[in-house]
Structure 1
Amino acid sequence: MSCSTFRSVTVAAVQMVSSPDVRRNLATAERLVREAAERGAELVLLPEYFPLIGASDADRLAAAENFGSGTIQDFLARLAAENRIWLAGGTIPLTSAQPGKVRNSLLVYDPQGHHVARYDKIHLFGFDSGTERYCEADHIEAGDTPVTFDTPFGRVAVGVCYDLRFPELFRQLDAVDILLLPAAFTATTGRAHWDVLLRARAIENQCFVLASGQGGVHENGRETHGHSMVVDPWGQVLDCLPTGEGVVLAELKASQLNRVRETLPALKHRVFK
């Protein structure tokens, strides 16, 4: 998609500190999504694990839904339709073919509440500092397919959290205008890398990045980095929320996207593809 087909649009990222209580998390998400829509957002992104950050992996398995039906999916479809927005619910647990595992899936709904895209997280986080350990492969089945989808305002690509560290995932795609990145970055890795990675993905792909994070200390003791933000194609942060619940919002201007791609046509100068 050429930059000339992109039109200016207001977008929002919702930041949460999700709990083990799905019903409470959905109520929080609904309140913040409605706030974003009332402020003019046409596209709203929820964070990774927005319906549930539980006490154990078993909680996520118990909450998993079959793709196409379920309380969380019905909630997302209704919320998109009622607010007349594009809504990316990133992420929810969907059932897996592998026993004891789930798919960590981002689902997108259009303003009529119709499902238009699904992305299953490809890169699974692994980290062990000796005092802090995560191994998503223990309980998540990885996806294997990059995803883009078209909207009236431009082409959108998606990734989830740890995917952010793998630029080849996004460079293999045709040019996109917006990259959605829901996350639950740990406080440790987030302080070190979150900002610089988001800005790098925006700069090298000459696109806007909308990043929605979990941001605080959760009831299970986990601490997430937050700093949900909107980044422009020049790498400038347009809005950011360091911690706590809330909404970051910005207008993505077509003139800015066009200016960057015309002034520094790096996407046209690529040699290795």
Structure 2
Amino acid sequence: MQWNLLQCQSSKDVQANLSFIESQLKQLPREPDEPQLVVLPECSLLFGGHESEQLKYAGSQDDNPLADALSKLAKQYQVYLIAGTIPYKAEPPQNADTADNAKSKVYSRCYAFDDKGQTLGHYDKIHLFDVEVADGTRSYRESDTFAAGERITVIDTPFGKIGLAICYDLRFADLFRALRLQGADIIVLPSAFTKVTGQAHWQILLQARAIETQCYLLGANQWGAHNQGSRETYGHSMIVDPWGNVVAVKPEQTGWLQARIDMSEMKKIRQNMPVLGHNRFIEPKLTP
């Protein structure tokens, strides 16, 4: 079984982003009949732009063209696809002051599709990136556009049980412990880590979360300058094993990062150091 992370340099042009992903799937190095896991970065189809663009492309239960396009690619190229993130219309919160305020929000949603294009599950990003960063953008306010998710997700696949997280979630260890407690063997992290924060913390945090959970961490990241240089991401898409070793990394440029993994090593690590059973703290619970 082969794991594939696609490092992208996505823009505001949805069709161009889709075309790039399909071109890479056409060229995916693979053995005949070998199951393929493909992970896309955060914002793989729509990166940047005004809130109105997120709303324009936001899907719903009855109309979800971006999800449909990604499902079609999973089926056409016969891959299990962790499909980065796309905007999805959020339900109006019960305590919203006005209907207009509620309508202005979308979820940052990650879909998982099987190799027939069927939806295995989805995850809405829980932790929103509202921070100050010493780069060209300086102030990030995801909560102006996005609503926070309300549940965690672990899905069954031929590769193992896969937990879903997104970018800024990486800084919150409780989420990753909760995913392990729900049976995760692999945790995937579609990301658009900034160059500044990525240089400081990306690899360290991936290794820490892998060691703590004794899971494989698959971080698929955006890379380079986006939308005429208005934002710069770090790249370094990476696979980290449950002992904290970096199995594979793609520092720069776009394209594939690949690995074949023997899951028996994870089982040995968990048997030899059963930290899940030794932990004396109560299980993490998601707050309202």
TM-score of the aligned structures, taking structure 2 as reference length:
0.87
1:250 aligns with 2:244: no
**The one of 247, 263, 273 aligned to 2:272:** 263
Residue 85 of structure 1 corresponds to which residue in structure 2? 79
Residue 117 of structure 1 corresponds to which residue in structure 2? 121
Structure 2 vs 1, CA of residues 42 and 233 (structure 1 numbering), >3 Å: closer, same or farther? same
- Counterpart secondary structure, 2:122: strand
Residue 142 of structure 1 corresponds to which residue in structure 2? 148
Q: Which amino acid aligns with 1:106?
A: C
Deviation at 1:246, TM superposition (A): 0.8
- Structural mapping, 1:127-206, within 5 Å: 127-129=131-133, 132-172=138-178, 173-206=181-214
Cα deviation, 1:181-217, whole Å, max 9, x if unaligned, reads 0010111111111100011111111011111111110
Please say which of residues 56-65 and 179-188 is displaced more in the overlay.
56-65
1:209 aligns with 2:217: yes
Q: Which runs of 5+ in 2 are unaligned?
A: 92-101, 284-288
Residue 20 of structure 2 corresponds to which residue in structure 1? 28
Paired with 2:251 and 2:202, the residues of 1 have a C-alpha distance of: 12
- Counterpart secondary structure, 1:191: helix
The 8 Å contact of residues 208 and 231 in structure 1, kept in 2 or not, is answered as yes
State the number of aligned residues.
265
Higher relative contact order (CA 8 A, sep 6+): 1
Structure 2 vs 1, CA of residues 161 and 212 (structure 1 numbering), >3 Å: closer, same or farther? same
Q: Which amino acid aligns with 1:161?
A: C
Residue 234 of structure 1 corresponds to which residue in structure 2? 243
Paired with 1:267 and 1:217, the residues of 2 have a C-alpha distance of: 40
Deviation at 1:102, TM superposition (A): 1.2
- Counterpart secondary structure, 1:260: helix
Q: Which amino acid aligns with 1:13?
A: L
The 8 Å contact of residues 93 and 103 in structure 1, kept in 2 or not, is answered as yes
- Counterpart secondary structure, 2:161: strand
Instruction: Give % identity.
Output: 39
Q: Which runs of 5+ in 1 are unaligned?
A: 1-8
Please say which of residues 159-168 and 217-226 is displaced more in the overlay.
217-226
Residue 9 of structure 2 corresponds to which residue in structure 1? 17
Paired with 2:84 and 2:133, the residues of 1 have a C-alpha distance of: 27
Please say which of residues 261-270 and 158-167 is displaced more in the overlay.
261-270
1:45 aligns with 2:36: no
Residue 286 of structure 2 corresponds to which residue in structure 1? none
Q: Which amino acid aligns with 2:277?
A: K
Deviation at 1:42, TM superposition (A): 1.5
Paired with 1:41 and 1:222, the residues of 2 have a C-alpha distance of: 35
Structure 2 vs 1, CA of residues 37 and 143 (structure 1 numbering), >3 Å: closer, same or farther? farther
Paired with 1:238 and 1:68, the residues of 2 have a C-alpha distance of: 40
Please say which of residues 228-237 and 263-272 is displaced more in the overlay.
263-272
Residue 96 of structure 2 corresponds to which residue in structure 1? none
